[in-house]
Amino acid sequence: MITAANRPLVIGIDIGTSGARAVAMDTAFNVVSSGSSKLADFSSDHRDPVIWWRAVQTALGQVLDAIDRAQVRAIAIDGTSGTMLPVRADGAPLAVPMMYNDPVEDADILSRIAAHAPRESAAHGATSGLAKVLTFQSIPDVFRIIHQADWLAGHFTGLYDVSDENNALKTGYDPVSRSWPDWIAATGVRVDLLPGVLPAGSPIAGISDAAAEAFGLSGDVVIVAGTTDGCASFLATGADQPGDAVSALGTTLTVKMLSDRPLFAPEYGLYSHRIGDMWLAGGASNTGGVVLSAHFDNDRIAALSAEIDPATDTGLDYYPLVKDGERFPINDPAMKPRMAPRPDRDAEFLKAIFEGIAGVEVLAYQRLVSLGSPPLRSIRTVGGGAKNVVWTAIRKRTMPVDFLAVASEEAAAGTARLALSGAKSAGVL
């Protein structure tokens, strides 16, 4: 019989743009302890890998202090997509990492990728992982050029030549054939510097003796291939069936859906991450909270929301934007905002904006379906907008599907779910 005293646990670790978070999860997906650490507590230089590792050590230590370390069976890590660094065989960094949003400015590198990468590849663009590999590959004594999550996982295994299918996507990996494609060599990249790639949630190796001793863990703990921070955030919600979707109502509106087939539409910035036997596809609009904040502060939004009847419709047809240009679900860099006429009452104006953003959300899911996704089955909502009950009621009126509760908004909890999968595959659960 499994009790709280002997139940097996796994740990998920998330390294984000500002810090690290870690959670311990049981086999019923319950988070039993958590920890966090800010990069700024150690240094203002967030590009220093040593700081990443110190933040991970701190967050993980907080988790382990709250549980019986003997219960831990597996660990997985997610990192920021597109953050890369060249390393020696022992993992020592050979240059300052290039972060997820650092562009490669060498026009020759970008033109070589553009000439050989298929249209649907995620390797296009100045911030792609492949462009960074081409930038780093001439460094003397380089062993591999790897992603942030790969490097951190290597501290637990001693292996710095393994990645996962999600982090490798922007580096040119083909998730359909599950291989580094032949065209990559044509760009001039040294393919011997690319890491081996495993499916997210697959066991990488057992924990190294050094790491087991450092953290007081059993030597049979398994280290599992992780994912990107974006994929981890989706998995954390509990969405796990084709047609399950997550809407992020933050500064911008982002929609993601699990599909039973891959979707690629680069004209919308739409790619698919492979997770198990399913695919995670999504897109980001330029509408969202940025439009609300351009007109009202949070206190005013709360006060005006109390005056709104979400069951009725304003009859206004807004497409809320703060400036010209949209990328998804409509790709038109010259598209103009549609926010007129403006009602006399601020509450009615806010209601029309809520309706307009909800309308864009409807169009976004219709776009995914038109590109081959399954029908929309359910929606889970994250981000600041999820807390506004009036906005939620308007969205429910426009999208008659199940609106489900979010299991967690912690990316580390999504990575812990991958650790559970890997632990089962490795036979340690």
Q: Is the pLDDT of residue 3 over 70?
A: no
Give percent above pLDDT 90 in the chain: 97
**Mean pLDDT for the chain overall:** 96
Q: What residues contact residue 375 under an 8 Å CB cut-off, 6+ apart?
A: 243, 369
Domains and CATH numbers, the chain: 9-231+411-426 (3.30.420.40), 242-404 (3.30.420.40)
What would the mean pLDDT of 286-306 be, rounded to a whole number? 97
Please name the residues in contact with 424: beta carbons below 8 A apart, sequence gap of 6 or more.
none
* Predicted pLDDT at 6: 76
pLDDT surpasses 50 at 93: yes
Cα separation, 303 vs 375, in Å, equals 36
Q: Count other Cβ atoms within 10 Å, centred on residue 423.
A: 25
241 CB burial (10 A radius; 0-12, 13-18, 19+): exposed
Q: Give the pLDDT band (50/70/90) at residue 5.
A: low
Closest CA to 85 of 170, 157, 150: 150
Task: Report the C-alpha dihedral over residues 232, 237, 240, 244, rounded to 10 degrees.
Answer: -110
Q: What is the pLDDT of residue 154?
A: 98
> How far is the C-alpha of 322 from the C-alpha of 31, rounded, in Å?
39
User: Mind listing the pLDDT tens digit for each residue in 211-262?
Assistant: 999 999 999 999 999 999 999 999 999 999 999 999 999 999 999 999 999 9
> In this model, does residue 54 exceed pLDDT 90?
yes
Nearest to 144 by CA among 189, 111, 206: 189
352 phi, psi to nearest 5 deg: -65, -35
Structure tokens at 5: 């005293």
The pLDDT of residue 4: 63
Peptide bond into 341 cis (omega under 30): yes
Q: Is the pLDDT of residue 2 over 50?
A: no
pLDDT band at residue 195 using 50, 70 and 90 as cut-offs: very high
pLDDT range class, residue 207, cuts 50, 70, 90: very high
Percentage of the chain exceeding pLDDT 70: 99
Burial of 111 (0-12, 13-18, 19+ CB in 10 A): exposed
334 pLDDT exceeds 80?
yes
In this prediction, residue 1 has a pLDDT band, given cuts at 50, 70 and 90, of very low
Torsion (CA) 145, 147, 153, 155 in degrees, nearest 10 = 50
> Can you tell me the distance from the alpha carbon of 224 to that of 294, in angstroms, rounded to the nearest whole number?
43
